[in-house]
Amino acid sequence: MTQSEVLAQAKQGDPQAIAQLMNRSLQSKGITAKVNRKEGSLRVLLESDQLPDQQIMIRFIDQGIAKLQVPGLETVQVYGQRSGQTMPAWSQTLNLIETNPSDDFVTDTASDISARQSSKIASDVSQNVTGAKLPQPKALIWLSRLLMTSLWVRLSLDVLFVVYFIVWATSYYVYNLLGIADATGFLASLINAVIKLIYNLWSPLDSFSGWVYLTALLLMLVWLHQTHARLKHIFQRYPISGGGAIARFVIPLYSLWGIWNIFTTLAEHLKSQGKSLAQRAIAIRQWLPWFYIALITSNLLDQVYRVSVRLGSEENLSSWFFVAKNGASLFLSIALLQMVQLTNKSVTELSNPQK
């Protein structure tokens, strides 16, 4: 079938002819178009190894359909998905109105598209395939780095506190052992000096850790908002907004369900986005129960400590209680760090598919 014959059928609304015109423009870029028509609605499914860029493809189809001027055609439903997926990652409906015809995948010559538009479309589609058209915002990149830094600092402080309380809890046994084995008393004096140094640093480190935890929390809230705004852009029907993510994270009791919902929703969307993202989805789901165990344990032990302080009986708490309390906080920091890191890597890969 000649180009002019295909064009004539496409102008009559033949979905196979329309698909043929689209594929002549897109197949060299690895994108395949499938078209069907139901009365006044045309449905176009775009598939590629990398998720087709929504903005580029919508402009491409809108301009081409406008050139065809198909009689009786009222809407065009466009879907984009990666090859092998069962559900589209994005969709958009075009309501057709009278517009000035513009060249895209339709031409009046024997060539697939005009030289001018061919260069333009090839450039746009090439950008889509390499992921250059969807770069991750620099603000989100820097925010993610700041959050990761604050979480690493928090984790380091938690390690110091765990070590401190282990030394405190075992000091009695260590001194007794040294009293037997250390005839000169040198080791006992050295350890005593180290313990005094740690004790003197305890108060400033405790105050510093409070600011670090607060900073990490504030950065976490901003990061949640910006990350979910990005996910709403990547997945057009992503169910959680930036504000919704913050609410799920901070509202008491509601957050017990909300945090779980935040990360399981992300994992659900990642599992169909390719092998590496599916593996991250599994990792997020694996870390989530451990995060909850650490969170609940840490909160319970903190509550016990606060009650003891109010009653003036904190001195009666075992030194091993503080080891457990800070150990739970340490494990919570590890779990949170892992989930944030997995989320950051996933969003980066979704924004830049081939990087």
- Helix, strand, coil distribution of the chain in percent, nearest 5: 70, 10, 20
Q: Model confidence over 43-85: pLDDT tens digits? A: 888 888 888 888 888 888 888 888 888 888 888 888 888 887 7
Q: Model confidence over 252-291: pLDDT tens digits? A: 889 999 999 999 999 988 887 777 888 889 999 999 999 9
Considering only CA atoms, which of 128, 61, 120 is closest in space to residue 93? 61
Query: Could you give the CA distance from residue 304 to residue 282 in angstroms, rounded to a whole number?
Result: 34
Please give the average per-residue pLDDT across 169-176, as a whole number: 66
Q: Is the pLDDT of residue 296 over 70?
A: yes
Q: Is the pLDDT of residue 173 over 70?
A: no
Weakest mean pLDDT among 189-203, 267-281, 312-326: 189-203
- The residue type of 105 is F
258, 264, 269, 274: CA torsion to nearest 10 = 150
Average pLDDT, the chain: 78
Residue ranges of the domains in the chain? 3-130, 138-351
Query: Could you give the CA distance from residue 113 to residue 103 in angstroms, rounded to a whole number?
Result: 8
Considering only CA atoms, which of 261, 288, 266, 274 is closest in space to residue 349? 274
pLDDT at 172: 63
Q: Concatenate the DSSP letters of all residues of 95-135 into one string.
A: EP-------SS--SSSSSS-HHHHHHHHHHHHHHHHTTTSP
